Amino acid sequence: MNSSDRPAPEIAAVLERLRSGTSGLTREEARRRLAEYGRNELRKTEKATHLRIFASQFLDFMLILLIIAAIVSFLIGERLDGFVIMGFVVFNAVLGFIQEYRAERALEALKSMISPQARVVRDGGEQMVDAAQLVPGDLLLLAAGDRVQADGVVITGELRMDESVLTGESQPVDRGTAQTVYAGTTVSHGRGTCVVTETGMRTEFGKIAAMVQTEERETPLQRRMKQLAKYLGIGALIICIVIFITGTMGGIAADEMFLAAVSLAVAAVPEGLPAVVTITLAIGVQRMVRKNVIVRKLQAVEALGCATVICTDKTGTLTENKMTVRKISADGALIEVTGEGYTPSGEFMSRDAEIPDLPQLSLRIGALCNDSSLVQSDNGDWAILGDPTEGALVVAAAKAGIDKQELENRYPRIAEVPFDSDRKYMTTIHEIRDTDGIWSDSAYLVSVKGALDSILQLCDYIYKDGRVAEMTGEDLDSINHLHEEMTSGALRVLALAYRLSDDAGMIEDRKQRYEHNLVFAGMAGMIDPPRPGVREAISTCRE
């Protein structure tokens, strides 16, 4: 191995700790580790059979008290009372069993989020394996659109990850060498190789699955019911003793007083209370189900009524998890974009009488300086492959009749500088093959998108009134005013700029910086829109 091919010291340390290398594991070693660490899949911490779930329903203190009362009723000859009490007990147990049995299926939804196949390096070559066969030390190959199947450390490449499934944050996160990627997250941009560090239930995703299965603490209702059952049990015992002693001291036979005391104690137990509580909670559960809310425990319904603070995920829960362009700045005007989700249909509206032609220019730049794509599934649904923020620009362009694939055929990419958290912008260079387009007089196009403050530092010109002009202080004030108006509406803003060139040497010299003397084209403001009914739901909670 050449010195230039050797991994960085921190990567070498990780590989050494995992007893792996740049050629991956051998098949024999992978089989041995699979036997040691187990399959890379989510599994239940304890396999609960149907019988076990049903039997666990009888562990409630109040039900135990009722069972004792039923047994005593049978012993003293009050069979009808015994059957009635046991009927209430079984009724409660059946309802609880049904609810918990449904909840056990929740884990299957989590399992479906893990890809069934994985690309790995084993025996020095690339191969596809069952994702459940991944083991610590495997080299996992990742590309845009892949879902990560295990926790790992990036050893080569630069990745931009969509970690909303774990963090709830829709903004992609950059992961470079020596940084961690997590099972269940998605690669929105880039390519890379990572070494697997954790699999199955030991991954962060697996820990979430384990928490879903973990028994919750007692609810306020459970605590009060247990306390009531204890008071009733102690009270009934005291009554039995007092009546028995009083009767025998009065000359009544001991066996008669014993039966009388026990009968009174049984009568003091409210056998109908658990049934009433269970039925009431079951009604609450059904109401929640009609609102698409699954409740694992009946008692949780009452606990919800005691809640004063709601902690909720944002992305995909309160929002649609579909970044959407809502406003575009063009020639000093602010243009509103309609439409929902990733469906490429919508209108462009302006407060001015006429909409300038400039959005076409901005949207072309946004679509070209972009690694995402818009696809339609067999059932007609539209989806984004790649970064959701970049996807929003592709959808906005499609609404204006700009097809990204057709645009890339006319302006093929020949070089790029990926987005960097320090630079805060991305650059792509395209050869201009279009003979009658807006850029047909030049040979190359440099398109740039990123944070406004970073882009403005690169711009000496601005496109306005249908031509390129030098950037003035008045132009900067107008741009900043529009930017402030967009951000005040909770929009995430990307600035768009470009440059034309006929200098082939600029393209050939990859070390030369070509991100200067740019022409400012405009801005795009986007948001992850709230789900329908979220505003009303929040208002209802506040009331």
Task: Provide the annotated active-site residues.
Answer: 313
Element (H, E) at 16: helix 9-17
C-alpha 241/C-alpha 262 separation (Å) is 9
Cβ atoms of 350 and 333 within 8 Å: the answer is yes
Residues near 227 by Cβ (< 8 Å), separated by ≥ 6?
A: none
Residues near 354 by Cβ (< 8 Å), separated by ≥ 6?
A: none
459 burial via Cβ count (<10 Å: 0-12, 13-18, 19+):
buried
Residues near 435 by Cβ (< 8 Å), separated by ≥ 6?
A: none
Short-list 49, 33, 316, CA closest to 200: 33
C-alpha 462/C-alpha 468 separation (Å) is 6
Q: How many CA atoms, within 13 angstroms, populate the side-chain half-sphere of residue 212?
A: 22
C-alpha 203/C-alpha 42 separation (Å) is 9
Helices and strands, counts by H and E, the chain: 19, 19
Tokens 């059979």 found at: 49
Query: Residue 200: how many CB atoms within 10 A of its CB?
Result: 22
Tokens read off for 499: 């440059």
Tokens read off for 156: 């080569």
3 state DSSP class of 49: coil
Short-list 439, 447, 446, CA closest to 410: 439
C-alpha 264/C-alpha 274 separation (Å) is 20
Q: How many residues does the chain have?
A: 543
Short-list 480, 484, 520, CA closest to 499: 520
CA distances for 13 relative to 8, 9, 150, angstroms: 9, 6, 19
